[in-house]
Amino acid sequence: MKWEDGRESENVEDQRRVPVGVALGGAGTVIVVVIALLLGKNPMALLQQAQNNAPPGAQAPAQESPEEARKVTFVKHVLAETEDVWGDLFQRMGKQYRQPKLVLFTGKVSSACGLANAAVGPFYCPGDEKVYIDLQFYDELKDRFHASGDFANAYVIAHEVGHHVQNLMGVSIESKHRKLPNDSQNQLSVRLELQADFLAGVWAFWANQKMKILEPGDEEKAITAATAIGDDKLQKRAQGYVVPEKFTHGTSQQRVKWFREGLKSGKLSEADQLFELPYRGL
């Protein structure tokens, strides 16, 4: 995947060295400053003390390896590409694309959706319109699931940004009112996740049209990633058998199919068909 020549997004928040529960910012900083003024103390000194009182080992190493730095740069470039593509597509619809923030964290993170640890994998929180990623997930994707390569990693970001697109278009809310007969909450979740895969494909189509990002073998790398994180594959790996009733993201075959559909057509208008098909026909 070609990505080095593009711009970097300014919407990346790096919280990898900020301990959860100790980080100060926004309302937290205001509270500390108010307390300091009431006590007649120097606000800056109190802020510094709060940071220094972090539990041992909570701070990440100050040094960053070249590999880690490359991952951060890559994320910023890919996020910028999603901003450019979705900004243009929304403009064509007469709408304005509201760019999400992307938060880099290590281990665990606090979001508007609650406290989460790295075990949940990358996720999108509609409450604060942010994508959350622990960069170690990419190592797990490569080492555990044998899905490596820049485009496979970009697919992960594009999928989560796809959830943001759903949020802006009201799909997450509308889907509750368009629930098909006999659809369970899990089946509805599958539809939303597969649609996010489709939207990731739409992004890839237009990013390639505009910036020529795809190289030979890239599509296969993304498909390997989509295959590795299908519900059937994950259940089989974890417990040795598959329980379709507990699927929340779709099978490997479904995830690959809908990513490919988006990559092939690039038509945002076709995303709605996931809520028009019978569940078994997905």
Question: How many residues are recorded in the chain?
Answer: 282
Question: Among residues 171, 197, 194, 186, which one has the least CA distance to residue 263?
Answer: 197
> Which has more pLDDT, 178 or 85?
85
Asked whether 154 and 211 are in contact (CB, 8 A), the reply is no
Domain ranges of the chain: 18-52, 65-281
**Pairwise pLDDT comparison (166 vs 182), residue with the higher score:** 166
Reported confidence tier of residue 145, pLDDT bands at 50, 70, 90: confident
Question: How far apart (Å, rounded) are the C-alpha atoms in residues 216 and 55?
Answer: 48
pLDDT of residue 30 exceeding 70, the answer is: no
Note the pLDDT of residue 64: 82
Please, which residues have CB within 8 angstroms of residue 65's CB and are 6 or more apart in sequence?
none
Among left, alpha and beta (phi > 0; psi -120 to 50; other), residue 263 is alpha
Give the pair of three-digit tokens for residue 99. Answer: 């760019």
Structure confidence at residue 176 (pLDDT): 63
For residue 20, the model assigns a pLDDT of 63
**Mean of pLDDT values over 214-231:** 91
Distance CA 234, CA 220 (A): 19
Strand partners for 104: 14, 133
Helix axes 150-168, 185-211, angle to 10 degrees: 120
